[in-house]
Structure 1
Amino acid sequence: MEVLRSISDPNMAFDYFKSVADMPYIVHTTETCNYMLELMRVSRRVDGMVFVFNVMQKQIINRDTTTYLTIFKALNLRGGMRQAPFSLAKLKSTGFVLNTYSYIGLIHLLLQLGHCREALEVYRIMVREGNKPSLKTYSALMVAVGKRRDTETVMGLLKEMETLGLRPNVYTFTICIRVLGRSGKIDEAYEILKRMDEEGCGPDVVTYTVLIDALCAAGKVDDAKSLFRKMKNGSQKPDRVTYITLLDKFSDCGDLDSVQELWGQMKTDGYDADVVTYTILINTLLKSGDLEEAFAQLEIMRKQGVTPNLHTYNTLIGGLLRLHRLDEALSLFENLESLGVKPTAYTYILFIDYFGKSGKSNEALQMFDNMKAKGIVPNVVACNASLYSLAAAGRLEEAKNVFNELRKSGIAPDSISYNMMMKCFNKAGRVDDAVKLMYEMMENGCYPDVAVINSLIDMLYKVDRVNEAWEMYRRIVDLKLTPSVVTYNTLLSGLRKEGRVLEAIDLFTSMMKNGCHPNTVTFNTLLDCLCKNDEVNYAIEMFYKMRQMNCFPDVVTYNTLIHGLTREKRVNDAFLLFHHLRKVIYPDSVTICTLVPGIVENSRIEDAVSIIRVFVFNARDYIDRRFWEDLISGVIVQANVDKSMALAEMLISTELCKDDSLLVLLFKVLSKRGRIVEAHNFFVRMRSYKIRVTVEVYNILIGALLGIGLQEMVWNLFQEMKNSGCTPDLGTYNLLLDAFGKTRKIKVVLDLYEEMQSRGCTPNTITHNIIISSLVKSNRLDKAIDTFYSLVSGDFSPTPCTYGPLIDGLSKSGRLEEAKQFFDEMIDYGCVPNCAIYNILINGFGKSGDLEMACSLFQRMVKEGIRPDLKSYSILIDCLLVLGKVNEALDYFHELKRQGLDPDLVCYNLMINGLGRGGRVKDALVLFDEMRAKRVFPDLYSYNTLILHLGIAGMMDEAGKLYDELLFMGFQPNVFTYNALIRGYSISGDSERAYAVYQRMMIGGCSPNLSTVAQLPNLS
């Protein structure tokens, strides 16, 4: 090598390389060949590279990654070793013809790099070109493919090797058994075992141990025991590994009896217990809950001279945590180093996992950080445990940090890591990130399991990306995974939401054909889909098929069918199904709330009460208010209010329901429908049954009665409420204060305000605002201001609703400077004025004639980002029109429309009147037509205004037409209508028509006023 490096001329170096290659006793190394390949590549001598490569093949010199990458680089082949299968054709065309040993070496090299798929491709090219792989190559390929649980490819390789004349040995067969066993294909694994005997290739102890391990993993423990007995009775005796395998599997199942039995057999066969077997025994005892015996075995172990290792202590810590003995587990953890054992990442993982599954994500993360602080590099399992706790808590950013830290450390995330991250993205609703992560996962050679795909399908369906969800389902086949019952259930649930009944039935059928047996959830989902899409009869057929498929209905199944039957008004069938349900399963509250509304709708109230009575008396759980509220809610929706009242009365009178939970929603509905007095009378009747009434029902009734002005009835109800022992709350007092304040009964308001405080009911901001508003409305403005300053001197924080009445009161009293002072003071108290406050001030200044200030306030409101509403514009327009500024008013009218606001009747009337007063009657008529075109219907004021201004303008024909129109629209002319017509005809000099209108007015029963007489023309 030193000689080659010393030769600067590539041609001379190549000649020297060839001369050494011809020497019989000197052989080139991989290093010298790779050096020569690189030198030839730089010199662009592909022929020289071919020569070097052939030397390597002839002299059987190891060709490593550098060898192939140098050749790929020379031929401009990018993509690294993963491109090996696609590069072989170009290699061959340029003279690099691989022999059998090169193919075998390349396959093993790719497998070492984890490129299993590429290794398989190279193998297939090798066979196509007539090269014969070795038995070792087949074994290596089968092991690699087996790790992916691709049983089809493994068994295909077994068949292909036999086709080429290679006879499988015990190792090859054992690999097949291991792969089949780990994939749960136990019957096929037994077939291989049987074939071994038939072909004279008897299984060895490893074969038996592998199959025993697979049987235990598949939950077939009895079969594993039988095989173990067969092994003991045969020529292959179990070794220590066999015993440890069985002990470990029985320990996983918590089968203490089997562990102790096997322990005895192991000792009989001459295998003394070591640290591994003692640890397994301790683990089994912990799983059985026998903590005392587990620690006793620890002492026996020490006395026997067997030193506990880290795995032993980890087992003890894990057992303590399973039993929720956290303090003892932490104590043992803290003493590990004093026991001569240094904790590893796995020790920390036990605590991280425990905290994560206990919902203590902070503690889990703290333990993860402690581990790093101790200089222990987190492995993939530690990161996964941390990710689990963070995913459960939905802490996405911290989970991303852990995941990225894992990648930066050079440790490849596994399927669990990716799954946990996808779960985090799922909780955050970031489905695109989850899908992207799945593709990254596959690019890194880490293939998702069916649980990951199920999670993604569910996520995609939840965000209505249905096509992508089905595309993800189809990927399951591409990934050689088998859809699970969860996969089908997720898809069925999606089809149910979309109402795609036929597709749901087809999917269910294909599920059966694919050998995936439906569970109760599957049936419930399908039945719900059928019932919600008018296929109840078919749903009932499927219901009867459930038991034939060894699948048993639960209460959800019955509830689904009962709901479907009641929707189709088949109450009798639903009733019969309910009685069938009671014989096999106890009904739940959903059953009752589903069935009873249909029965009540059928006017079978006594039957409904009987069903409820049986349920209440046999209830396994406490019947709370929620049940009664859900029940009456369903009855109101499906039946009607009257039948709901009848049911409620019967349930209360029979003392099945002893509180007012049935009345809350009932009274809300009655109030909305205007049947408020009826609700009150029904309440009085229910009170006679001595039910417990809460403040909520009183507040509903008080609020409703106040809404229709029945204050006396409310006052009596309020007194009864207090006398019955039901304490009024803040809501009660606020309702009363607001109502009496609006009717200016200030004495009652102040008495109630004092009473509520004496009863220990603390007023809130709403209460104080009501008091201030009530004082203003009762013309006690100064008292309201004093109250305000008294409150703000304490801890009261005023709101716009506090300032509004004060500013309004001051504005209407002409005290505009004080009003403006309060407005400026708002900001000092951190209270931002809203649009309503600005409107009050704009109106005040505008009506006082200070248009400059009004417009200034309007512009200030806009500048501060407060969007003026329709009222803001209407106020400003009105003020401008009062002062005769018609053009400015019209500008604001057009601006409000540009701002996306629609003028209402008031706004149109203001503008029409303003234009008329300004002599712009034609513009007023245009606006009147626009108003009607926008379906803003004119009122009598609109017609009166236009008739008046048309008359003044001498346009009496148009005025007459409008008069006829208002009659046609059903309006009753008033004195202002007639006055406008009389005035118009008088101005036009048509005295006869003026008096005809006057006569019509008198005949119509409309009394004239002074203005009428003044408008009449002088007949003299």
Structure 2
Amino acid sequence: MLNNLGRAGQIHQMKLLFEEMKSNGCEISRITLSNVMLWYYKAKDMRYVARHWNLLRREGTQPSTAIYASYIDFLARSRRFTKIAVIFEEMMRRDYLPSSRLYTVFIEHLVNAGKVEDAAKILELMQHMLVFPSRVTYKFIINGFAKTGKVERMLETLEEMREYFHKPAKQFMPAVIALQKAGMVNEAAVLMEEIQPKVVEGAGSIGPRVDENDDDDATDADPVLTVWRCASTSSFLFDICAFTNALHSWNPEVEKVLEHADLDWEAPLVMGILRRMRKMDVLWSFFHWLKDKVGYKHDSSSTAVLLEKILRSKETLQKKDSLVKDLFDGLKKDGMNFSIQLFNSVIRYYVSVGEPEKGRSIFNLIGAFDLEPNRFSYALLIQGFARNLQGKEATVFLQEMQKKGFPLDNTTCAEMINCLGRARKIDQAYALYCKMLDSDLKPGHFVYKALLTVYSNAGDYGMALKLYDDMRQAGITPTQDMYEVVTRILHKTGRHVDAQQLAEGRRLLNFFDGNKKVLQERLLQVLFTFMRGVKAKKISESA
């Protein structure tokens, strides 16, 4: 009932019920306390967020990742930035990795402070740590670029958002206005059509979509939060979570029950169930039952959910490859309109597990589905082959990408420079860096780290120092993951004072040991990027 009231936005009634439970001596579990705190957070009642945080502390209850995110948001709104670093360190020491929701909190406050580029850096770091951004995350950055008039950056981020199957909603109207002000009328009209598609006559209204609540981080499902939804059913108390949990197996009896269920199989309900299913065999059967028995027309969104479950399952790579191709072939025969993002999601997975050859086999299927690869298709394969030190294959795709007129990006260039450097093709690595400058692409810290590593390993410390100075003049400070290579360069070139200053700035925060060092460095980079951005605003306001 607490969850039901919270979901309905009846926070006052939820508060009264919670107080009644306590006064009657009911045992308040960790899950109940966490749920109530999260509903206060969603209602932006930060006073009660703080009260429940203190209650959790007094009772010795271990907060969840989502609770940490809620409290850090409270601290940011209260401008208690030093405390944020302490809480963030506590999370790391307890092995609680930040969720999509916490990154979104950082990004929101950076955008509000006018530091949209810093917010974009955190977005980039999220993807390096394989944390997929939610639509809410993109909303803040896209609207931030829109309000600052950076229309090209806004369009790039919109294109990237679509790669994760997020569709623009009404909260993206600042982007439409920015396009109109920039004289890009056609682009504004296309975006407006995505935000408010024409309603098919006679289709009727099926209520709010499951994925239209912009308060939720769709990729950040907290295990202690039970979500109640009313979706395409006559019962007000229809619990989609309980319904999905009941589908723990698949057999003819289950099919009979579903056929007689009082449910309208519309997109909101289908997507809600698909996202909550855990068992791969049940999900596969349910997906095809909808298609074959109910006549449900799957699209890229529902197919993307099944794809994600397949790729994250414990099946072998060979089995996954077979399932993906069977799925695509079956949906092609049914006449589904595919999107390039479906293919890119599979390529992205194969690249992440070090199998770019399998990614290339998916890339080669794109033409058979009447589609053309986009810049992400090429970039993913270039990164995959470069990481595997397959420079020849990476170069072929890089050249093809450039012939198509697709722009370079920092991550792809950094991987390529690193690959060329390890193959001792230093001149080619530097030539790619120069090409970035000629194309007005500002190299980021990943590119500079790759170049500094290349020249340092080659023993050319003079050139490495020049690049380091260029990096500093471009306004890029050494990040934590650059510490070792930069320190070596500074000592080798006699810049001992600079090396000492860098060492002093690096004190603290050993969250992890061993093979988690790279992850630690990136998490520190997220924290420091946030702290620098919000503190800069605080200093300017004081001045």
- Shorter chain as denominator, the TM-score bin is 0.3 to 0.5
TM-score (norm 2): 0.44
TM-score (norm 1): 0.25
Structure showing the higher helix proportion among its residues: 1
